[in-house]
Amino acid sequence: MTTISTPRIRTATPETSGLGDVLARAFQEDPVFTWWIPDADRRRATLPPFFDLFVETFLVHDLVYVDADTTGTVVWGPPSNPLGIEDEEAFGVRMEEIVAETDLPRVIEIVTTLAEHHPSDPHYYLQWAAVLPEHQGRGIGSVLLAPVLQRCDREGVPAYTEATSLHNCRLYERHGFAFISEIAPADGPPLYRMWREPTAHSRSSR
């Protein structure tokens, strides 16, 4: 009988490599990203440095997790700064250096749409969650999500994310997230706002 072991995960550090590539490969054919960068080759070139920027920015919060084989990663923002960006001006400059001029208006539109609908209540924000396509369906994503979701329950703090597809929406629902509303940039694909209340059982057992 074959036994599937539980993936080992750890908190990422500045020395952890490959996370941008994992995220880029996972989102290469995602509907939001194919709308943002229609050209597949340009998307393939843009996404790794795009995600590297986010990983680098969020690492200071100690809420980026990766599995032992670097096949998946999750990137969270803390309740004190859910969007995770300490220096917005510097972040914007870096983004303009990464994204082609022809694609920049669409990413600005996405960011603006998300910001307009972002909750004001304190919460942990799941910015990105990804598993390499060939490793999906093995429970890696669930294990990666567990540390912060357990922390949410212990601390009595909600979690929030935007799913980029109905498939991802169903995945988050299995982890206690509930659909809030659908939003979309002009002429763009929908994103699904998801909110997770902490479980009362975990809070009462502290």
Indicate the DSSP class of residue 185.
Answer: -
Instruction: Please provide the distance, in angstroms rounded to a whole number, between the alpha carbons at the two ends of the chain.
Output: 38
DSSP letter for each residue of 74-123: EEEE-TTSTT--S-HHHHHHHHHHHS-TTTHHHHHHHHHHHHHT---S--
State pLDDT tens for residues 30-85: 999 999 999 999 999 999 999 999 999 999 999 999 999 999 999 999 999 887 78
Is residue 125 predicted with pLDDT exceeding 60?
yes
State pLDDT tens for residues 146-185: 999 999 999 999 999 999 999 899 999 999 999 999 999 9
From CA 67, how far away is CA 141, in angstroms rounded? 9
Positive/negative CA dihedral, 48, 52, 55, 59: positive
Domains annotated on the chain, with CATH: 9-204 (3.40.630.30)
State pLDDT tens for residues 139-153: 999 999 999 999 999
Which has the closest alpha carbon to 124: 159, 93, 90?
159
Amino acid at site 77: G
From CA 152, how far away is CA 140, in angstroms rounded? 19
The neighbouring-strand residues paired with 179 are 194
pTM of the model: 0.90
Alpha carbon of 206 to those of 72, 120, 176: distances in Å? 30, 26, 19
Is residue 202 predicted with pLDDT exceeding 50?
no
